[in-house]
Amino acid sequence: MLKIFYMVFIMVSLSNTFHSMAKQANATNDTPVHHASVNKASIVLGSGCFWGAEKRFEAINGVIDAVSGYADGKHIAPTYAAITQRSNQFNADNYAEVVQVTYNPQVVSLRALLQHFFEHHDPTQGNRQGNDIGTQYRSTILYQTDAEKQLAEQVRDIYQQLLTQAGYGKITTKIAPLDSFHPAEDYHQNYLQKNPNGYCPDHSTGVKFVEQHAENHHAATAPMVDNSPLLEGKHIVVLEAPFCPYCQAFKQQIGDSYRGDIPLHYRGAETLTGLQLHTPTRATPTLFFIENGKEVFAHQGLLTADKFYQALGAFVLGKASKAYEIAFEDGTEKRFCQRYEQFQNTGDGVFVDILSGEPLFDSRDRFNSGSGWLSFTRALPDATIEIPDNRFGMQRIEVRAKKTHIHLGHVFDDGPNGSRRFCINANVLKFKSR
């Protein structure tokens, strides 16, 4: 009996030993390696409408996520429907529109985020940001630790000195402990990504933090820009702001390739000195069409290329002009018009889009068709598009400029030696010598 007991004991021991060895082997070969987790911290900030604030914070390297929401309120529901009721517009207990910024402190510091916060809104306006008025738009920093509170107060006091030097009033930013954060409704999250033709509210003062050197404890304020060239003639001023994705989209889609005769200028809200503008500078991008330093009209938000050139056409040509009628209302000039006579016998060169300056036709492809309209055997490569036109009981092929989408004329199959004939309105072209 005793012998049997020892045998059982030895077998159990060996089984446990093999199990332990197998477990160690599995741990060595199969168990996932646990890497150091990403360091995370968060801060809740309110700087007016949370749409633009969320987008700008998410563009900062080191920010893991930014979530729009509501905080620092009581006695009402933390919902958009509740905080926007007229009865709550000036309610001291109303919730503020805020953004919960989650970040990696090893990549971006809280000090840098707070500096960004102060630089990208006007913390002196109280319960408003630009035309957004009410307690929901108040400037707010909601901390979770004493260290965050002390840092927020320190950064605020430094910025107050800079604002005072620039002529601004007292900072009204509320610095208080975070009670709770309520995420906003789904349609508010990443709102500007879901609405690509929206705009980023920009209420920044233009006053920036700078490094504090021993020999210079004062910061530069808004950069000096010479606007005197804009006081004569026609110009387009594009109001932009840092971290504005729609400003970048305008440059990529329109600005970088623009070749028109009307100069295009980029400005921040703080660098519009000397210009007479009446459209609020609360949104970016805003396009100001100005003449002799005075606004003629403006557009807030990102424009598509065809809408931009239609606005430019109204500014340059005038809506009552024949050129505007042809370009945007599919009109047709009279045969042998004055501009046709001017262009029929030019020297060597190219005919360009009257608005964008983009080359469309080459004088070497021009011929006299006797029709009374400029005629070319071809357009320059990738300069035009052709669209079926079955209006007025006819089957024709319409020709439009690819970049601006303005109407140019039609193309037919009756050119010289079996070639095509591009029948083009002269009023929508300009000529440039080679």
Q: Which of 49, 200, 247, 423 is catalytic?
A: 49
User: Collapsing DSSP states into helix, strand and coil, what is residue 86?
Assistant: helix
Name the pairing type of β-strands 139-143 and 174-177.
Answer: parallel
Q: Tell me the CA distances in angstroms from 317 to 312, 326, 327, one per residue in order.
A: 8, 11, 10
Distance, in Å, from the CA atom of 192 to the CA atom of 283, rounded to the nearest integer, reads 13
Report the chain's terminal Cα–Cα distance, integer Å.
114
DSSP letters, 13-72, are HHHHHHHHHHHHHHHHHTSPP-PPPPP-EEEEEEES-HHHHHHHHHTSTTEEEEEEEEES
Q: Tell me the CA distances in angstroms from 139 to 54, 147, 153, 342, one per residue in order.
A: 14, 20, 14, 61
Distance, in Å, from the CA atom of 323 to the CA atom of 314, rounded to the nearest integer, reads 10
Distance, in Å, from the CA atom of 228 to the CA atom of 36, rounded to the nearest integer, reads 57
Say how many C-beta atoms besides its own lie within 10 A of residue 187's C-beta: 10
| 8-state DSSP, 328 | H
Is 49 known to be catalytic? yes
* CA proximity to 255, closest of 271, 266, 244: 266
Distance, in Å, from the CA atom of 314 to the CA atom of 124, rounded to the nearest integer, reads 39
- Provide the strand spans (E) within 152-275: 174-177, 181-183, 200-201, 234-239, 264-267
Q: Phi and psi (nearest 5°) for 290?
A: -120, 150
Q: Phi and psi (nearest 5°) for 67?
A: -120, 125
User: Collapsing DSSP states into helix, strand and coil, what is residue 141?
Assistant: strand
User: Collapsing DSSP states into helix, strand and coil, what is residue 359?
Assistant: strand
Token reading at 220: 């530069």
Mind telling me the catalytic residues?
49
